[in-house]
Amino acid sequence: KQEVTQIPAALSVPEGENLVLNCSFTDSAIYNLQWFRQDPGKGLTSLLLIQSSQREQTSGRLNASLDKSSGRSTLYIAASQPGDSATYLCAVESSGYALNFGKGTSLLVTP
Amino acid sequence: DVKVTQSSRYLVKRTGEKVFLECVQDMDHENMFWYRQDPGLGLRLIYFSYDVKMKEKGDIPEGYSVSREKKERFSLILESASTNQTSMYLCASSYPLRVGTAGANVLTFGAGSRLTVL
């Protein structure tokens, strides 16, 4: 069974810092990996999707990388802002339909 | 934009009641999912459906059933609610990046339904 782990569980940084969130998975046979953002009490918003044949994806200040062979992905956030404060979840699709999620990293960006 | 709408944002029910959670998507997506999210446990898949009248058990189907009579609607049913089913329930739908393939699905989530069972 695919296990997805996210480290750290929580992170607090001052505004303006660049930061990296980590995600690891146990089975490298994946179709894709997605990063989501979740604000308190809300649903999930998809940020980036990396297909298994890709190495990275970028959207604005966000850059996600994928190393399938080592079972790792990172989400890089440049020049963090207080509005980036949220929980970030990593999920992998390895069974064909459903995603397996990590437990998330709770990010707080302080002014 | 794809919209996934969950009919109730907050529900309070009593133990033993039958509970229906409704989810509707407006973009003709084939796949629909129900997850529950609990602190410390993350998101866990309850059921999913890849076509009308089709359903597959996820990781934690016990105590739940689902119905998909129309492509746009996927209902989660708690036949007899229990306190350990108090949770945030999240519905999602997806389409494959390559039509006709099972992989590379892009998920869109609803806003969630927070259920409290007393």
Of B31, B58, B107, the CB nearest to A46: B107
Q: How confident is the model at residue B100 (pLDDT cuts 50, 70, 90)?
A: very low
Q: Tell me the pLDDT tens digit for each residue of A51-80.
A: 888 999 999 999 999 999 999 999 999 999
Name the DSSP class of B60.
-
CB A79 within 8 A of CB A61: yes
Asked if pLDDT for residue B98 goes beyond 60, the answer is: no
**Mean pLDDT across A84-108:** 90
In B, which residues are within 8 Å of A41 by CB distance? 112, 114
Cα B38 from Cα A78, distance rounded (Å):
30
Residue A89: HSE in the Cβ half-sphere, 13 Å Cα cutoff: 24
**Cβ–Cβ below 8 Å for A104 and B42:** yes
Cα B38 from Cα B27, distance rounded (Å):
28
**Mean pLDDT across B38-55:** 90
At residue B26, φ and ψ (nearest 5 deg) are: -110, 15
Rounded to whole angstroms, what are the CA distances from B30 to A32, B44, B65, B102? 18, 20, 19, 11
Of A43, A46, A91, the CB nearest to B90: A43
